[in-house]
Chains A and B, each alone.
Chain A
Amino acid sequence: MSGKQAAAETAAKPATGSQLISLAAAHKRNSGTPFRPELFEAMSVNLSATERRVSTLTTRRTVKKEWQAAWLVRAIECIDLTTLAGDDTPGRVERLCAKARHPLRADLVKALGLEGRRLTPGAVCVYPEMVAPAVKALEGSGVPVASVATGFPAGLTPMRDRLAEIRYAVEQGADEIDIVISRRHVLTGNWMALYDEIREMREACGEAHMKAILATGELKTLSNVYKASMVSMMAGADFVKTSTGMEGVNATLPVSLVMVRSVRDFLEATGNVCGFKPAGGIRTAKDAIAWLILMKEELGNPWLKPDLFRFGASSLLGDIERQIEHHVTGRYSSADRHGIA
């Protein structure tokens, strides 16, 4: 199937910046658009200006006291609790799922005045073989199961197998599929091939939401990141995601800023709303706040919720728990006071 044949809705009337929020508030799933190279081909991202912006994000904005606690709870809601290791077992996945049911100690939830609210992370993210145990363990919790697929992390298995892997994960009950893109198409500027590939993956996902992992650490330049992000959204990605967690450099704020701006440009140009997921290397509550500030400043409050924003992280939750306990008790906390995943 070529890009031109792809069934895509006609682009909506371009939206202006101030209309972003209302569009996002009641958005439909991104259906993708026809391949429109004019939306990205001329784009050249200025690295120094990008770095300057991110270096002042957290010096221009901060949250203290109750605000910090509330924001950290929100961060928990946006975490994709993840285990993607060769030694994953059903037992390990069950433990992770148990943590997903109760990410924060009950006494802390109560102290924050949040009892009665369902507090869970965005999803549990596993390999396809681990989808079934995860689905079972999360039954009735309302926590979606996400699976990586398409020859994760390198994405260099045959296309036939990559698509089959998506279908397998969906059959096993995955609600979300994190696919990896072919970096070689980006590095050689073969945008049409990239579009076609992702389009097919999106079809294979069916009802499952698709996150397109760009592996930005391997795309190297911010202009490449922007272009790959735009092509992924045109091809129907529900989320664009920075990294597999396996590249030399994972989620960084400069890369995130560029992707977030591409989400905004895509929305402005097409009316389609996409989400963003930074993944890899986000370990501290302070990091989480920085990313939330980025989302709020560059996009707006709708991107502070799990339907449009996720953290791909495995150790972040632990630090957030400790910071929240510090907020509640005024004492610095230790990791062993919080249940591990």
Chain B
Amino acid sequence: MNDISNIFDTMEYGPAPEDSKDVRAWLKAQKSGFGHFIGGAFTKPEKGATFAVATPADGEKLADVALGTAKDVDEAVAAAGKALKKWQALSCNQRARHLYALARHVQKHSRFLAVLETLDNGKTIRETRDIDIPLVARHFYHHAGWAELRDRSFPGYEAAGVCGQIIPWNFPLLMLSWKVAPALAAGCTVVLKSAEHTPLTAIAFAEICAEAGLPAGVFNLINGDAEAGSAIAGHPDITKLAFTGSTEVGRILRRQTAGSGKKLSLELGGKSPFIVFENADLDAAVEGVVDAIWFNQGEVCCAGSRALVQEGIADRFHEKLKARMEKLRVGDPLDKSMDMGAVVAPVQVEQITAKVQAGVAEGAEMWQPSWAGKFASANEGCFYPPTLFTHVSPASSLAQEEVFGPVLASMTFRTPGEAVQLANNSRYGLAASIWSQNLDEAFDTARKVKSGVVWINSTNLFDAAAGFGGYKESGYGREGGREGMMEYLVPAWQKKAKALPESEALLAPTPAPGGEGGGLDRTVKLYIGGKQARPDSGYSYPVTGKGGKHLAEVGLGNRKDIRNAVEAAHKASGWSGMTGHARAQVLYFLAENLELRAREFAERLGEAGASSHAAKREVEASVSRIMFYAAWADKYDGAVRAPASRMLSLALNEPWDVMGISCPDEAPLLAFISLVMPAISMGNRVVVTPSPTQPLAACDLYQVLDTSDVPGGVINIVTGDRDTLADTMAKHDDIAALWYFGGAKGTEMAERESAGNLKPVWANNGKARDWHDTEQGEGEEFLFRATRIKTIWTPFGV
């Protein structure tokens, strides 16, 4: 009974469907299916295998789409490669015009794209209309600006080349824009693979590229599944790979691309904490939960899926939350009055169901709104009701594993310290949401939470100017802002870098006859926690200098020494908490003390084989380099952005905490200094392996470090075989980042083994670097790599 009299009594909402006829006409016009977009034209889908795309709301088939093969990827990469030269030859302004045109055309087709996205993905029309598509346009506008400013803003850098980009199904067009816009702005060309569940808006975007006059081959699209993705990741002509998706696939891609020289950025899973303090505006926080975990059906990598609620208000908060959940509306995604639409595919509903059942089996208390039963039958479409778990224990699967559905796991805490402890009790570190009317408490927590994005009294806010990306196993690299542009740029000098010869592994020697008695024996130990330590192995190896002269025995470090060094580095956390100024004072003192002993160090380098001029020059350069990073210590401090009115977004450069560094054989003192100083100036503590063949200059630093007030544990030096030790460091889950400067094989190994905890690896790919050259040996690139950016969003107002 829909007569007005009846509605007047019941005051229900009634249906409010968005018209989809234009989109359906577009789909219908492609009865033969959609092809790939390669070199500015669509391929004919009839030529190969296709897959069917359905709308998750009711399973209706929308289209057939060509299934990409390795051959299709080859063609697309060739097209992108062909277009690259011309695209790079354009001026910054000309590229900016193209990006601006893309933004305008996206806006022009905004409702079409919103409806298509809703049909394809199942998310509500409210979200595609008000959030996804406006953010897509915003991303292209913002990056039209970066295209314009590239040369001025990034001197010494050039485009990374042909980019492979693999995007997920949860924000199909938005993730496309996050990948494509910075790539094109940087001067790269693109081969993008859309997600198998949701290929349609990418196809529409390809049409828009053609309509907007983007040169052929600059943007290429492959539809398909993991096979096409793998072909992209493995393609030798792709120099940059960007991926958003699951942590598991991220690991596979890391291993697959190890040693290939590809730049890699990964935006992976999360189990983001949503922290509610007792003085929060509780109703505001409840609404925050709606935006956190019931946004996009909870299919959000940065969803606040782990509520941490202060114990005293937990009952009240949960009651309010339940009352709010009763009011949520789930159903037809095209209906303008829905809070949640359909989950993307039946397989996802099954996964959510399984994880919810596991949560129940583990003893957590499940609650769903009274109307949840209407989705019990899967025949009705891929719907899943909002679900709340309370009494969740930190060890349970619900607290640790990503559900990727509308399921909130709630736990309680007692103190701010415990909130941080629980928040960080996760492999992931993508985002955090903090609710407190006390900004002291909120900021303190924001600084201590290990995540790439922090929203204070807000959640799931995005802007093209603010970097987005994770800590820990949530991946690395940022999307958006200046930091996002860096992912698509490489130092221009690198293309001329020469390959280094592979070095041979060190072997522990057996005692050999023929020693020269008489001199004072010199056996160099390791330096761990501010103390010299014997190597755990009990072995040393000989270091020889000019003409094969035996110089000293040096400790042969092994995995246990690395373990001890990492522990010592973790204990030295005070270093990261010091001000930049305080760290600068230590570095200046270090420079002073090194200069005092300059002659001695030069002699040491001379013994190792350097000419006296070169040795003197290397020591002088080392002193200067220390001063260079002392200077930076209190200046490389981030950025303030204002993505909305009454909103501060702070991009903070935070240290990795504990880093591993493998030094090269070139310039044994200067390279050591050039790598260690930027790392510690930014607040990191390091475990460093000096040049295996010429470690003595670094070992002589032990005393200099001691006399320069460098706190024990900030620099830990383990001598020994570079690749053996790098292997241990790459596999160490308590090392957050690794710099590897050695051979090509070692790069491959370090990158491959880093997949365990997904630490970013900065490696030289077996290429030489002129450490004396200030363009190559020092600069912002080092500082950028020595930090990870945390973006803190703080709305304010009275």
Q: Contact check, B5 vs A59: say whether CB atoms are below 8 A apart.
A: no
B347, CB-defined interface residue at 8 Å: no
* Contact indicator per residue, chain A 271-312, by CB within 8 Å of chain B (1) or not (0): 000000000000000000000100011000100100000000
Known: A18-B326, A71-B11, A114-B4. A44 touches B126 (CB 8 A): no
A45–B457 Cα gap in the complex (Å)? 11
A63, CB-defined interface residue at 8 Å: yes
A6, CB-defined interface residue at 8 Å: no
Q: Contact check, A62 vs B323: say whether CB atoms are below 8 A apart.
A: no
A172, CB-defined interface residue at 8 Å: no
A46–B437 Cα gap in the complex (Å)? 7
Q: Which of A18, A45, A46 has the most CB of B within 10 A?
A: A46
Q: Contact check, B796 vs A48: say whether CB atoms are below 8 A apart.
A: yes
Q: Contact check, A62 vs B3: say whether CB atoms are below 8 A apart.
A: no
A39, CB-defined interface residue at 8 Å: no
Q: Contact check, A17 vs B12: say whether CB atoms are below 8 A apart.
A: no
B339, CB-defined interface residue at 8 Å: yes
* Contact indicator per residue, chain A 107-125, by CB within 8 Å of chain B (1) or not (0): 0000011100100000000
Q: Contact check, A113 vs B5: say whether CB atoms are below 8 A apart.
A: yes
Q: Contact check, A42 vs B458: say whether CB atoms are below 8 A apart.
A: no
B201, CB-defined interface residue at 8 Å: no
* Contact indicator per residue, chain B 321-360, by CB within 8 Å of chain A (1) or not (0): 0111011000000001101000000000000000000000
A338, CB-defined interface residue at 8 Å: no
> Which A residues lie within 8 Å of B511 (CB)?
none
- Residues of A56-113 contacting chain B, CB below 8 A: 56, 59-67, 69-71, 73-74, 112-113
> Which B residues lie within 8 Å of A297 (CB)?
327
Q: Contact check, B323 vs A63: say whether CB atoms are below 8 A apart.
A: no
Q: Contact check, A17 vs B323: say whether CB atoms are below 8 A apart.
A: yes
Q: Contact check, A113 vs B3: say whether CB atoms are below 8 A apart.
A: yes
A45–B320 Cα gap in the complex (Å)? 16
B435 to A: closest C-beta gap in Å: 8
Q: Contact check, B279 vs A52: say whether CB atoms are below 8 A apart.
A: no
Q: Contact check, B13 vs A67: say whether CB atoms are below 8 A apart.
A: yes
From the candidates A43, A113, A220, name the one contacting B4 in the complex (CB within 8 A): A113
Q: Contact check, A304 vs B287: say whether CB atoms are below 8 A apart.
A: no
A246, CB-defined interface residue at 8 Å: no
A69 to B: closest C-beta gap in Å: 5
Q: Contact check, A48 vs B798: say whether CB atoms are below 8 A apart.
A: no
Q: Contact check, A74 vs B15: say whether CB atoms are below 8 A apart.
A: no
CB-nearest residue of chain A relative to B327? A297
> Which A residues lie within 8 Å of B126 (CB)?
56, 59-60
- Residues of A208-231 contacting chain B, CB below 8 A: 220-221
Q: Contact check, B320 vs A48: say whether CB atoms are below 8 A apart.
A: no
- Residues of B2-22 contacting chain A, CB below 8 A: 2-5, 7-8, 11-16
A20, CB-defined interface residue at 8 Å: yes
Q: Contact check, B11 vs A261: say whether CB atoms are below 8 A apart.
A: no
A49, CB-defined interface residue at 8 Å: yes
- Residues of B631-677 contacting chain A, CB below 8 A: 646-647
CB-nearest residue of chain A relative to B337? A61
A301–B13 Cα gap in the complex (Å)? 11
B288, CB-defined interface residue at 8 Å: yes
> Which B residues lie within 8 Å of A56 (CB)?
126, 130
Known: A62-B337, A67-B12. A17 touches B437 (CB 8 A): no
A25 to B: closest C-beta gap in Å: 14
Known: A16-B319, A17-B319. A60 touches B5 (CB 8 A): no
B281, CB-defined interface residue at 8 Å: yes
CB-nearest residue of chain B relative to A115? B5
Q: Contact check, A49 vs B458: say whether CB atoms are below 8 A apart.
A: yes
B406 to A: closest C-beta gap in Å: 15
From the candidates B7, B291, B326, B647, name the one contacting A67 in the complex (CB within 8 A): B7
A199–B715 Cα gap in the complex (Å)? 70
* Contact indicator per residue, chain A 129-154, by CB within 8 Å of chain B (1) or not (0): 00000000000000000000000000
A223 to B: closest C-beta gap in Å: 8
Q: Which of B7, B16, B646, B647 has the most CB of A within 10 A?
A: B7
A53–B326 Cα gap in the complex (Å)? 17
B514, CB-defined interface residue at 8 Å: no
A288–B11 Cα gap in the complex (Å)? 14
B145, CB-defined interface residue at 8 Å: no
> Which A residues lie within 8 Å of B336 (CB)?
62
A259 to B: closest C-beta gap in Å: 12
A98–B1 Cα gap in the complex (Å)? 33
A316 to B: closest C-beta gap in Å: 18
A51–B339 Cα gap in the complex (Å)? 18
Q: Contact check, A66 vs B14: say whether CB atoms are below 8 A apart.
A: yes
> Which B residues lie within 8 Å of A45 (CB)?
281, 284
A50, CB-defined interface residue at 8 Å: yes
CB-nearest residue of chain B relative to A324? B4
Known: A53-B284, A53-B287. A61 touches B457 (CB 8 A): no
B287 to A: closest C-beta gap in Å: 5
Q: Contact check, A63 vs B14: say whether CB atoms are below 8 A apart.
A: yes
Q: Contact check, B11 vs A64: say whether CB atoms are below 8 A apart.
A: no
B538, CB-defined interface residue at 8 Å: no
B7 to A: closest C-beta gap in Å: 4
> Which B residues lie within 8 Å of A221 (CB)?
798
A46–B285 Cα gap in the complex (Å)? 9
Q: Which of B2, B11, B796 has the most CB of A within 10 A?
A: B11
CB-nearest residue of chain A relative to B646? A48
A261–B285 Cα gap in the complex (Å)? 13
B394, CB-defined interface residue at 8 Å: no
A51–B280 Cα gap in the complex (Å)? 16
A55 to B: closest C-beta gap in Å: 10
A47, CB-defined interface residue at 8 Å: yes
Q: Contact check, A66 vs B322: say whether CB atoms are below 8 A apart.
A: no
> Which B residues lie within 8 Å of A67 (CB)?
7, 12-14, 16
Q: Contact check, B4 vs A42: say whether CB atoms are below 8 A apart.
A: no
Known: A18-B326, A63-B13, A66-B14. A42 touches B339 (CB 8 A): no
* Contact indicator per residue, chain B 285-313, by CB within 8 Å of chain A (1) or not (0): 10110010000000000000000000000
Q: Contact check, B798 vs A60: say whether CB atoms are below 8 A apart.
A: no
Q: Which of A49, A59, A62 has the most CB of B within 10 A?
A: A49
> Which A residues lie within 8 Å of B8 (CB)?
70, 73-74, 114
Q: Contact check, A66 vs B7: say whether CB atoms are below 8 A apart.
A: yes
CB-nearest residue of chain B relative to A223? B798
> Which B residues lie within 8 Å of A47 (CB)?
797-798
A45–B339 Cα gap in the complex (Å)? 24
A201–B749 Cα gap in the complex (Å)? 81
A52 to B: closest C-beta gap in Å: 7
B711, CB-defined interface residue at 8 Å: no
Known: A43-B281, A49-B457, A67-B14. 11 other contacts (CB 8 A): A18-B323, A46-B284, A49-B281, A52-B287, A52-B291, A53-B284, A60-B337, A70-B8, A74-B8, A112-B5, A117-B5
| 8 cross-chain CB contacts under 8 A | A16-B323, A46-B437, A62-B16, A66-B2, A66-B7, A67-B7, A113-B5, A114-B4
Q: Enumerate chain B interface residues (CB-CB to A < 8 A).
A: 2-5, 7-8, 11-16, 126, 130, 279-281, 283-285, 287-288, 291, 319-320, 322-324, 326-327, 336-337, 339, 437, 457-458, 646-647, 795-798
Q: Enumerate chain A interface residues (CB-CB to B < 8 A).
A: 16-18, 20, 42-53, 56, 59-67, 69-71, 73-74, 112-114, 117, 220-221, 261, 292, 296-297, 301, 304
Closest 4 CB pairs of A and B: A17-B323, A49-B284, A67-B14, A48-B795
